[in-house]
Amino acid sequence: MRRGRRPGGENTRALILEAARTEFAATGYDGTSIRGVARTAGVDPRLVHHYFDGKSDLFAAVMAVPINPGARVMHALEGPPQGLGARLVAVFIETWDDPANQAALIGAVRTTLTNHEAAQQVREFVTQEIMSRVVDAYPATSTLTAAERELRVGLVTTQMVGLAMTRYILRLPEISDLCAEELIARIGPAIQGILETGSAAGTPLVGQPAKD
């Protein structure tokens, strides 16, 4: 969410964006802080918060993506845990199908795939700000080992990356011609299965690690 302008605002905003671009490139998504960006830009951290709704919004702006994916995913987390998988797929498709976002999101994916530094930043952003929150929103995951939790973050990411690639980048007609409802019905349960059991098939794994 962009807040109100004030005199000289566009210059200040551009200055902060440029500093953020430098910081993300130098230290990655995880290593960047609002405080560090403010220091590099030579402004007060409150000014960064004035223009950007936190680190994830700042990153979206640097990647020239008009929405804050971190805020979008928060919507998917609201509601009963048994519908989490379907809600994640629904929010994902709604965001990507929107003509106001699609070109920018495709551009961000292309940057990620051709630029090594950008790939590292996007990877950290997607796992930290989106997929980790999804996994942690499912109640039972708090009892998992750290390794099993990470594996589930990786598996949910694999599902969403596969969908983004086949529907929006490769434009496989078998997937891109489907309506949102069909995809939610087919892929939602796979995400749900990963959250509940660690497997997209939703069957508990033998010897599945859990904290004692």
Chain residues that interact with its own copies, rule: CB under 8 A: 110, 112-114, 119, 122-123, 127, 150-151, 153-155, 157-163, 165-166, 169-175, 178, 182, 185-187, 189-190, 192-193, 198-203, 205
Q: Is residue 32 a contact partner of residue 24, using CB atoms and an 8 Å limit?
A: yes
Token couple for 61? 């702006």
User: Between 74 and 165, whose beta carbon lies closer to its own copies?
Assistant: 165
Residue 76 C-beta: closest distance to its own copies, Å: 18
User: Between 76 and 160, whose beta carbon lies closer to its own copies?
Assistant: 160
User: Between 79 and 154, whose beta carbon lies closer to its own copies?
Assistant: 154
User: Between 14 and 113, whose beta carbon lies closer to its own copies?
Assistant: 113
* Residue carrying the six token digits 């000014």: 47
> In Å, how far are 81, 98, 125, 194 from 101, measured between CA atoms?
28, 6, 18, 28
Residue 65 C-beta: closest distance to its own copies, Å: 17
User: Between 17 and 187, whose beta carbon lies closer to its own copies?
Assistant: 187
Residue 6 C-beta: closest distance to its own copies, Å: 39
Return the SS3 of 102.
helix
Residue 57 C-beta: closest distance to its own copies, Å: 23
Return the SS3 of 28.
helix
Angle between helices 69-77 and 55-62 (to 10 degrees): 130
For residue 187, the Cα-to-chain-centroid distance in whole angstroms is 18
User: Between 34 and 194, whose beta carbon lies closer to its own copies?
Assistant: 194
Whole-angstrom distance, CA of residue 39 vs CA of residue 56: 18
Residue 77 C-beta: closest distance to its own copies, Å: 20
* Residue carrying the six token digits 């951290």: 45
Give, as one character, the DSSP assignment of residue 202: -
Whole-angstrom distance, CA of residue 135 vs CA of residue 73: 12
Whole-angstrom distance, CA of residue 86 vs CA of residue 44: 41
Residue 202 C-beta: closest distance to its own copies, Å: 5
Give, as one character, the DSSP assignment of residue 65: -
